[in-house]
Amino acid sequence: MPPIKSSPVPKEINTAKATSFSQLKTGIDHYENFPVASVLCPPHLRPAIAAIYWFARTADDIADEGDAPPEQRLNDLAAYRADLMASAAGLPTSPQWAAVFERLRPAITQFALPVNLLADLLSAFEQDVVKQRYASQAELLDYCARSANPVGRLLLHLYGVHDDSALQESDCICTALQLINFWQDLSVDIPRGRIYLPADAWGPHGVDEAQLLALDSRRNAINLIAACTRSARATMLKGLPLVRKIPGRGGWELRLVVQGGLRILDKIEALGFNTLQQRPKLGPWDVLVMGWRALWM
């Protein structure tokens, strides 16, 4: 269940155009680590999954891309939210994002998509505009609950999976993917002013904001990243039972999503957890490793 938030997860293996599990670009120079509406998805679900993706991708771009001031971004996101509610009610939307809602409206109608989950995604993007520090792990997890977890729950809804244990496992996978993205992207996000490493974890490792802003990779910072990375792996592992609950090809899609996240964690560890200086990437060999591991899940 891939989160959409990018840096949700920029960047390497993207199948957002429902083509294949390979490296493609999409939108405004975006990459995704994990497949979105790939050939493994049941064909009848691909249009709805693509519609959800482009809804979230566009909102993320409103929040992050270009040089618009924060006030303008928030105004645009409010207008985008109004279009979502109009679309869900069968009312006309503004022309500004007509292509997005022309795709999304039929999906909402056909599958009775929970509009509150789509709105939760917007609340996370609105938060991105105004919040660049996280005081605690609890704050960060609250963000993940709105930026990532709704995507998994929307996909489970499309697959007709609604039991509480599956929802909780999906949340674990999606939260883990979001956190993995953060720890993968430190060298990208921090120069842009965003520090997702929670401040309540800095002190025990003797790290301060100035050190992080300087991308200073002394041992104390490495230990902080290592602890966060191991926590993300533990969260991912809690969600593993879900891969056996998704029927057919969708279950194999999820296996590859999970293995993509775990492989990035392997890459972070191989770098000595120094993602302040280097961003780990997936390559063709990694895809083969992920596929082999997916067979044995």
pLDDT tens readout for residues 165-222 = 999 999 999 999 999 999 999 999 999 999 999 999 999 999 999 999 999 999 999 9
pLDDT tens figures, 169-185: 999 999 999 999 999 99
Q: What is the pLDDT of residues 93-103, one digit of tens each?
A: 999 999 999 99
pTM for the predicted model, two decimal places:
0.87
43-295: which CATH topology? Answer: Farnesyl Diphosphate Synthase (1.10.600)
Average pLDDT, the chain: 88
Q: Check pLDDT > 80 for residue 18.
A: no
Reported as a pLDDT band with limits 50, 70 and 90, residue 39 is: low
The alpha-carbon radius of gyration of the chain (Å, integer) is 18
100-136 pLDDT per residue, tens: 999 999 999 999 999 999 999 999 999 999 999 999 9
Give percent above pLDDT 90 in the chain.
Answer: 78
Which of 124, 262, 133 has its CA nearest to residue 201?
133
Choice between 86 and 43, residue whose per-residue pLDDT is larger: 86
Q: What is the tens place of the pLDDT at every residue in 270-282?
A: 999 999 999 999 9
Question: What is the C-alpha separation between 230 and 51, in angstroms, rounded?
Answer: 33
Q: Could you give the angle at the alpha carbon of 267 between the alpha carbons of 266 and 271, nearest 5°?
A: 115
Q: Are 207 and 220 in contact (CB under 8 A)?
A: yes
8: three-class secondary structure by DSSP: coil
